[in-house]
Amino acid sequence: MALLGAAALGIALALVAVPLLAWAADPVGAATCATCHPDAYEAWKRGPHARAEAALGPRQQKNARCLRCHAPARQAGFEGVQCEACHGAGQYYYPEYVMRDAELARAVGLVDPDASTCARCHDETAPNLEPFDFDRKRARIRHWPAEAAPTGEATAPSSRSADPRASDGDGDA
């Protein structure tokens, strides 16, 4: 019985420790992501998230409320809205051996973004001229071939690795 209690305690601690580990992770920056995902990186560089901080005026660049969304990793030395603003800080999931195991990558912090991820910044308090339309805006930042799936849900592309977000090499990563 004591062994069963110890096992239950171990499982409970793991359920708490893994999310805390992910929460405490540091960002590694888009350039690190680019080493394995060059096409996605190039798409990001051309998109609105890469230029989010530059879009702010001088007063806004000093406003913490603006920077929370336009430059969330600025204190770590990263400009704009980098990969990890949506996909979670990559300190623990960016190594290739982790990314080859989708379940492990997610367990240590990789986020599969959805509308609620976007809503952290794109909400009713954001100074937008129109309501945020997830499906329409998602098309502007598409950088994974699987995002073109008919259901609107990302699915794992066939790729050169087990990473569900790896490029399939068609140039539209």
Span 38-55, pLDDT tens digits: 999 999 999 899 999 999
Number of neighbours of residue 149 by Cβ within 10 angstroms? 13
Span 26-41, pLDDT tens digits: 999 999 999 999 999 9
Q: What is the CATH number of domain 28-148?
A: 1.10.1130.10
**Position 9 pLDDT exceeds 90:** no
